[in-house]
């Protein structure tokens, strides 16, 4: 079964609300087997809309990534951070083997 990536492009608008989201979100993500590959590090914007923060998380499967997003724990984190960020979020299934 292929793994899957959450790819989030984020603009933080309120640091306190973002902090209220981050702790519970990390717990929920880890509970579903998620591991952070990138989280707010240096980046180079090449095309499209620039966001101030980029996050990539690997999950064991597309289903695990969806289940995490829809879980009570993650949705509680989103509610706690409401108004603290705007983002684009997509889940992408990884290839079983490189091309």
Along the 99 residues of the chain, how does pLDDT read in single tens digits?
899 999 999 999 999 999 999 999 999 999 999 999 999 899 999 999 999 999 999 999 999 999 999 999 999 999 999 999 999 999 999 998 888
Query: Distance between CA 91 and CA 95 in Å, rounded?
Result: 13
CA distances from 23 to 20, 63, 84, 97 (A): 6, 23, 14, 33
Q: Is residue 99 part of a domain?
A: no
* Full domain range(s) for residue 30: 4-93
Task: Report DSSP letters for 43-76, one per residue.
Answer: ----SS---SEEEEEEESSHHHHHHHHHSHHHHH
What is the model's pLDDT at position 48? 93
Q: Is residue 98 part of a domain?
A: no
If you search the block for the tokens 């949705």, which residue do you land on?
75
> CB–CB of 91/60 below 8 Å?
no
Domain total of the chain = 1
Query: Distance between CA 63 and CA 68 in Å, rounded?
Result: 8
What is the model's pLDDT at position 99? 86
CATH number at 80 reads: 3.30.70.100
């Amino acid at each position: 079964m292929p793994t899957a990536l959450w790819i989030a492009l984020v603009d933080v608008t309120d640091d306190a609300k973002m902090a209220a989201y981050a702790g519970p979100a990390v717990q929920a993500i880890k509970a579903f087997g998620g591991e952070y590959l990138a989280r707010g590090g240096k980046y180079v914007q090449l095309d499209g809309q620039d966001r101030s923060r980029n996050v990539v998380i690997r999950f064991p499967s597309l289903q695990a990534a969806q289940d995490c997003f829809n879980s009570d724990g993650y949705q509680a984190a989103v509610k706690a951070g409401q108004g603290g960020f705007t983002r684009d979020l997509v889940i992408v299934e990884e290839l079983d083997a490189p091309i």
